[in-house]
Amino acid sequence: QKEVEQNSGPLSVPEGAIASLNCTYSDRVSQSFFWYRQYSGKSPELIMSIYSNGDKEDGRFTAQLNKASQYVSLLIRDSQPSDSATYLCAVPLGSNTGKLIFGQGTTLQVKP
Amino acid sequence: NAGVTQTPKFQVLKTGQSMTLQCAQDMNHNSMYWYRQDPGMGLRLIYYSASEGTTDKGEVPNGYNVSRLNKREFSLRLESAAPSQTSVYFCASSATSGGATEQFFGPGTRLTVL
């Protein structure tokens, strides 16, 4: 069974700090990776996708991928209280299905 | 552009009742998905449709049926609801059926089965 593992948290950081969210996956052939943000009572919203090793930056968000270690992370710089949410990591199930496996999510709390 | 829409937003059923959850997307996406989300269990795939006219089981299909009515619409039916089906149901869609691309989610249906 292919798995995606995340620390459920909660991860608590002060406002303005860097929040680091981590995700490990078991399928070595995965080629694309996605981070979703889910506010309480709302649906998941795509915030980052990454396809190659290294870093991808989008505003205050940076996704980091290390395929050799089967590890993908999301850094949030200058964390704001509005970043408080659950962050879901998603990895493809198989190479050509379009299906994703989601981790259980990490709850982030940014304290003013 | 409404994206992915779902109806109803909330529903309460009694054990044994049936209902259909509706989902529609206006992004011309080929693939559509039904998930359920339970506390501590994350998102689990119930059924998906890679393209119009095709459907396939996901991780937790028992107790559910689906219909891909056309390219826009993908419905989920509970024939005989059970308390274990109390959950939040999300529909999603993505552009391509081959390879993994970003999935876009609807607002969800909160279902309680008494």
Tell me the pLDDT tens digit for each residue of A8-20.
889 999 999 999 9
**Beta-strand runs (E) in A30-84:** 33-38, 45-50, 54-58, 61-66, 71-76
Handedness of CA B8, A44, A106, A2 (dihedral sign): positive
Mean pLDDT, chain B, integer: 92
DSSP structure class, residue A79: -
Q: Which residues pair with B108 in a beta bridge?
A: none
Compute the distance between CA of residue B85 and CA of residue B88 in angstroms, rounded to an integer. Answer: 9
pLDDT value at position B98?
Answer: 56
Residues of A in Cβ contact (< 8 Å) with B60? none
Is residue A112 exposed (0-12), middle (13-18) or buried (19+ Cβ within 10 Å)?
exposed
Å from B81 to nearest chain A CA?
23
C-alpha torsion A93→A101→A21→A71, nearest 10: -20
Q: Does A72 touch chain B (CB under 8 A)?
A: no
Residue A101 has pLDDT above 70, yes or no: yes
Residues of A in Cβ contact (< 8 Å) with B91? none
**A-B contacts (CB, under 8 Å):** 59
pLDDT value at position B1?
Answer: 72
Q: Does A31 touch chain B (CB under 8 A)?
A: yes
Residues of B in Cβ contact (< 8 Å) with A44? 43, 90, 105
Q: How far is CA B15 from the centre of its chain?
A: 20
pLDDT digits (tens, 9 = 90+) for B81-114: 999 999 999 999 998 755 567 899 999 999 999 9
Å from A77 to nearest chain B CA?
23
Q: How far is CA A8 from CA A22, B39, B42, B92, in A?
A: 10, 11, 10, 23
Å from B18 to nearest chain A CA?
24
Which is more confident, B69 or B90?
Answer: B90
Residue A111: Cβ within 10 Å count = 11
**At A110, is the pLDDT very low, low, confident or very high (cuts 50, 70, 90)?**
very high
- Are residues B104 and A46, on separate chains, in Cβ contact within 8 Å? yes
Residue B5 has pLDDT above 80, yes or no: yes
Q: Which residues of A3-27 are buried (b: 16+ CB within 10 A; e: fewer)?
A: ebebeeeebebeeeeebebbbbbeb
Q: Does A52 touch chain B (CB under 8 A)?
A: no
